[in-house]
């Protein structure tokens, strides 16, 4: 699971003793005013064997794309 640093300020998951395997992304990192919208992108990469080079390529592909939200809380 990955998201751009500018669009996601935390990743959280339950302890290993919990009965579920959830993963939570804390998006935006700021309050949105009523009626405003924002857009962020998160990707789930399923990579066979988890080769670090494949992970780095997936990250480079995500981070090479422009940000959706330019900081004013409005989708572009």
Give the global pTM: 0.55
Q: What pLDDT, on the 0 to 100 scale, is given for residue 68? A: 61
The overall average pLDDT reported for the chain is 78
**How far from 61 is each of 23, 30, 31, 53, 64, CA to CA, in Å?**
22, 25, 28, 12, 5
Are the CB atoms for 23 and 43 separated by under 8 Å? no
Per cent of the chain over pLDDT 90 is 3
**pLDDT-derived band at 34, boundaries 50, 70, 90:** very high
Average pLDDT over residues 47-61: 82
What is the CB neighbour count within 10 angstroms for residue 68? 14
């Amino acid at each position: 699971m990955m998201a751009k640093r500018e669009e996601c300020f935390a990743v959280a998951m339950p302890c290993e003793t919990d009965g579920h395997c959830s993963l939570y992304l804390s998006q935006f990192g700021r309050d949105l005013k009523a009626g405003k919208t924002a857009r962020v992108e998160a990707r789930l990469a399923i990579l066979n064997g988890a080769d670090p080079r494949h992970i780095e390529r997936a990250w480079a592909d995500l981070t090479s794309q422009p940000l959706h939200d330019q900081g004013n809380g409005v989708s572009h």
